[in-house]
Amino acid sequence: MMRLRTQLLATFAVAIPAMATPLAAHAQSSVVIYGRLDGGFQWINHLATGKGGTVSNYSAEGGDWGTSILGFKGTEDMGGGLSAIFKLETAPEIMNGTVSGGRLFSRRAFVGLDSDQWGLLQAGRNLFIDSDGVWEFDPMVQEAFASASLVRGRNWQQTNNNVEYHSPVIAGFDIQGQYAFGNQTNGFNNGAPGEFGRSDGVMLTYHSKLFEVRGIYDELRDANGQMTNIFTSSREYFAGVNVNLDRVKIQGAYTHFSAPDTPAGIADSANYYWLGATYTATQALAITLAGFYVSVGDGGGDAQHDPSGHATMYTLGSTYNLSKRTFLYGTVAYVDNGKQANFSLLANPREGSGSTSPLQGESQTGAYVGILHQF
pLDDT higher than threshold 70 for residue 25? no
Cα–Cα dist 229/222, whole Å: 9
- Total Cβ atoms within 10 A of residue 308: 18
Query: What residue type is 118 in one-letter code?
Result: W
What's the mean pLDDT in 52-73?
97
Note the pLDDT of residue 319.
98
Average pLDDT, the chain: 93
% the chain with pLDDT above 70? 93
Least confident of 9-13, 117-121, 310-314: 9-13
Residue 356 neighbours by CB under 8 Å, 6+ apart: 44, 47, 57, 344, 345, 346, 348
Label residue 4 by pLDDT band (50, 70, 90): very low
Q: Report the C-alpha gap between 158 and 101 in whole angstroms.
A: 11
pLDDT value at residue 24: 41
pLDDT of residue 101: 79
- State residue 13 phi and psi, 5-degree precision: -65, -30
Percent of the chain with pLDDT over 90: 90
Mean pLDDT confidence for 53-62: 97
pLDDT at 361 over 90: yes
Which residues, in sequence order, are bridge partners of residue 308? Answer: none
Burial of 261: CB neighbours in 10 Å, binned 0-12, 13-18, 19+: middle
Tell whether the model's pLDDT for residue 30 goes beyond 80.
yes
Rounded CA-CA distance 318/304 in Å is: 34
Q: For residue 242, give Cα distances in angstroms to 93, 216, 314.
A: 32, 15, 19
Assign domain 35-374 one CATH number from 3.60.9.10, 2.40.110.20, 2.40.160.10, 1.20.1250.20: 2.40.160.10
The sign one gets for the Cα dihedral 176, 181, 182, 186 is positive
Strand partners, 69: 36
Q: Evaluate if residue 255 carries a pLDDT over 70.
A: yes
pLDDT of residue 171: 97
